[in-house]
Structure 1
Amino acid sequence: MSLADTVLAVNDDLPIRTDSPVHSGKVRSVYWLTAQDSARLIAERGYDVAADAPLAVMVISDRISAFECIWQGEGGMAGVPGKGAALNAISNHWFESFRQQGLADSHILEIPHPLVWVVQKARPVMIEAIARQYITGSMWRAYDKGERDFCGIQIPDGLQRDQKLPELLITPSTKGILEGIPGVPAQDDVNITREDIVSNFEAFKFRSVADVDLYEKLLREGFDLISARLAELDQIFVDTKFEFGYVTDKAGNEKLIYMDEVGTPDSSRIWDGAAYREGRVVENSKEVFRQLLLSHFPEPDILLNKSRMDERYALARDNALPTEVLMQVSATYTGIAEKITGVPVPVSDNPKAEIIDILRREFSLVD
């Protein structure tokens, strides 16, 4: 077995029974089950969802993206060993913690394999719910240029880079392209204010203005829970992105839930506490990979300048990264996952074969 064999890079070609196209994102692929299989699993496995709810099998990969490109390594290693299992394990841990604390449910119904979720279809709220506890990254760059208004919130003068903010800041942006909202450009990932959301709650797919308050409450409570638990591990929860959606339970109740992923190195910045107290920032998140790329290539402007996207795509396509770069990233992901969950991240010898086997034997979803 080679190291490349442990990496699940292509995850949209599994023989899972479906009558819809497989939706493949940068990291996850979604297999929508047939209506018959969805109804069968709901009945057989007792999921707390409507009897006719659409279900899907979501398979995470070990692919790694940064600067809007997918990157590869030497020796056919088209991803980072253990990355997918680490992301799933962290999300599973936080989703379960939220549920135990009475915050809200998630879209996950069952976890058949470390790389697989069985999920229910949610009706997403069209907001990337971003919360920031420290000023860093893109926010710092804007602040350093003189910007003080962030999503309608005024930030005081005199802050230093990587400093803790006076309070948790919610800086939402649009999820997808939304048409016809006054003052909001029809573009993906546009910063918006709370007033934009309240005034146009239906356009953002909220059911009521009260649910805008609820999303903020769940965002703050979820952030605070993760931040407190990470602090116990001497880790700092710097900023993160949450996503929300609606589902209907077996009794017909519509609920706002957490969805996508939460508190992971892909969706969050996590810093080492001891290093921060010494005046250094040591990342335990995807930012490690971004910085490795910036230092690896002689012309980092290609990665930073959106007017050079053709060159950037060529860079990712034509360059196999050294194995040690990807293994350093692997150590970051699996290391923080093991800190958070308290158990080692399982790395499969042949992940695709394992997934096919369990979905055939236990779920009858492979012909």
Structure 2
Amino acid sequence: MNLADQVLDVNDDLPIRTDKPVHSGKVRSVYWLTEQDSRRLIQEKGYDVPADAPLAIMVISDRISAFDCIWKGEQGLKGVPGKGAALNAISNHWFDLFKQKGLADSHILDVPHPLVWIVQKATPIKIEAICRSYITGSMWRAYENGEREFCGIALPEGLTKDSQLPEYLLTPSTKGILEGIPGVPAVDDVNITRQNIVDNFEAFNFKTVQDIDAYEALLKEGFNVISEALAPLGQIFVDTKFEFGYVKDAAGNDKLIYMDEVGTPDSSRIWDNNAYQQGNIVENSKEGFRQFLLNHFPDPDILLNKDRMAEREALTADNLLPLDTMTTLSKTYTDIAKTITGSPVHISQNPKQEIIDVLRAQYQLVD
């Protein structure tokens, strides 16, 4: 079997029954089900949602995104084998653990296939909720250059690169371009302070000011649950991005939930603890791939400078990455998924056909 055949790179052309445009992001595509199919599945499967709740099929791809670009490899590799299934498996594991610990539900109702979720429609909080336990990456670079305040929080003097912070640090940023908020530039992914959120909570989609406390608690609690679960596995949970939203349960009550993905190599930094104790950083996350790209090209500023986006896109289009880079990255994703979940990642030999078959046979969503 050709390695490229195992990769699901185009995931917005599946024959899933829908009467709305397919929304395709960097990694996932969302198919909104017809009202009739949503109602039927809610009734047949007993999902804890209102009878008229809109449902969607969310299909993850194996595409690899870094520095806001999609990268491809030699020998027709348009993604990383096993990456999508690894991300879904890890997220499913943490979402289940959060529920067991009594934290909060997620938007996921069902997992028909390793690359597929059935989700309920959520109203997203317009915040990238970032929690940090160590100072590294862009934060360290800013600290080294003299910055001591991050998102309105003052850091002490004397911190060293890759060292543990005195306590969890919450550094939220905007999700999407938000206009008309005093003191917040209308730019995607710009850092904000807690006071920005409190003063404009409705603009960020919070229903009440009190829900800001709830989201911060869920962020810290979720981070702590993952960190404590990773420690016996020899892994350090360095930092992560969570996303939150609102859904309604079957009784019509609003509830704040975790959404998107959590604790994955795409949304988090995860370090090998043994290597860290010896003074080395071994990444079990996409951060290692980012570092490879910065070292691989002679002018890394193209990847770091948003004003050079046209050059960056040309770099992506004109360069196929070495095959061993893509296979090493595949091993990073599948190995950490197996470590976390205890089960090997299912790598499909023909992922698109597998998805079509299961959605047709078990969910009657393909004509």
Instruction: Tell me how far apart the structure 1 counterparts of residues 148 and 308 of structure 2 sit (CA, whole Å).
Output: 29
Instruction: Tell me how far apart the structure 2 counterparts of residues 176 and 110 of structure 1 sit (CA, whole Å).
Output: 27
Q: What's 1:107 paired with?
A: 107
The farther-off stretch of 307-316 and 357-366 is: 307-316
- TM-superposition CA deviations, 1:57-103 (whole Å, max 9, x none): 00000000111110111111100000000000000000000001100
- TM-superposition CA deviations, 1:256-296 (whole Å, max 9, x none): 00000000000000000000000111100001111122222
Aligned positions of 1:169-318 closer than 5 A: 169-318=169-318
Partner of 1:207, secondary structure, is coil
Write the letter of the residue equivalent to 1:248. Answer: K
Write the letter of the residue equivalent to 1:107. Answer: H
The alpha-carbon deviation at position 306 of structure 1 amounts to 2.5
Q: What's 1:15 paired with?
A: 15
Corresponding position: 1:153 with 2:161: no
Partner of 2:365, secondary structure, is coil
Instruction: Tell me how far apart the structure 1 counterparts of residues 202 and 290 of structure 2 sit (CA, whole Å).
Output: 36
Write the letter of the residue equivalent to 1:94. Answer: W
The alpha-carbon deviation at position 196 of structure 1 amounts to 1.2
Q: What's 2:326 paired with?
A: 326
Partner of 2:270, secondary structure, is strand
Instruction: Tell me how far apart the structure 2 counterparts of residues 316 and 73 of structure 1 sit (CA, whole Å).
Output: 10
Instruction: Tell me how far apart the structure 2 counterparts of residues 302 and 249 of structure 1 sit (CA, whole Å).
Output: 46
| Percentage of matched positions with identical amino acids | 74
Q: What is the TM-score of this pair, normalised by structure 1?
A: 0.99
Q: What's 2:363 paired with?
A: 363
Partner of 2:72, secondary structure, is strand
Instruction: Tell me how far apart the structure 2 counterparts of residues 178 and 310 of structure 1 sit (CA, whole Å).
Output: 24
Write the letter of the residue equivalent to 2:315. Answer: L
Partner of 1:39, secondary structure, is helix
- TM-superposition CA deviations, 1:91-135 (whole Å, max 9, x none): 000000000110000000000000000000000011110000000
* Structure 1 unmatched ranges of 5 or more: none
Instruction: Tell me how far apart the structure 2 counterparts of residues 297 and 136 of structure 1 sit (CA, whole Å).
Output: 22
Instruction: Tell me how far apart the structure 1 counterparts of residues 10 and 244 of structure 2 sit (CA, whole Å).
Output: 27
Q: What's 1:163 paired with?
A: 163
Partner of 2:37, secondary structure, is helix
Partner of 1:76, secondary structure, is coil
Aligned positions of 1:72-83 closer than 5 A: 72-83=72-83
Corresponding position: 1:347 with 2:347: yes
The alpha-carbon deviation at position 137 of structure 1 amounts to 0.8
* Structure 2 unmatched ranges of 5 or more: none
Instruction: Tell me how far apart the structure 2 counterparts of residues 312 and 217 of structure 1 sit (CA, whole Å).
Output: 38
Instruction: Tell me how far apart the structure 2 counterparts of residues 190 and 293 of structure 1 sit (CA, whole Å).
Output: 23
Aligned residues: 367
Instruction: Tell me how far apart the structure 1 counterparts of residues 168 and 232 of structure 2 sit (CA, whole Å).
Output: 19
- TM-superposition CA deviations, 1:235-259 (whole Å, max 9, x none): 0000000000000010111100000
The farther-off stretch of 197-206 and 56-65 is: 197-206
- TM-superposition CA deviations, 1:302-340 (whole Å, max 9, x none): 222323222211111111111100001011111110000
Write the letter of the residue equivalent to 2:61. Answer: S
Partner of 2:223, secondary structure, is helix
Q: What's 2:91 paired with?
A: 91
Instruction: Tell me how far apart the structure 2 counterparts of residues 112 and 349 of structure 1 sit (CA, whole Å).
Output: 17
Q: What is the TM-score of this pair, normalised by structure 2?
A: 0.99
Write the letter of the residue equivalent to 1:26. Answer: K
The alpha-carbon deviation at position 169 of structure 1 amounts to 0.3
Partner of 1:75, secondary structure, is coil
Partner of 2:75, secondary structure, is helix
Partner of 1:238, secondary structure, is strand
The alpha-carbon deviation at position 213 of structure 1 amounts to 0.5
Q: What's 2:60 paired with?
A: 60
- TM-superposition CA deviations, 1:126-166 (whole Å, max 9, x none): 11100000001111111111111111111001101101001
Instruction: Tell me how far apart the structure 2 counterparts of residues 217 and 293 of structure 1 sit (CA, whole Å).
Output: 35
Q: What's 1:24 paired with?
A: 24
Corresponding position: 1:338 with 2:338: yes
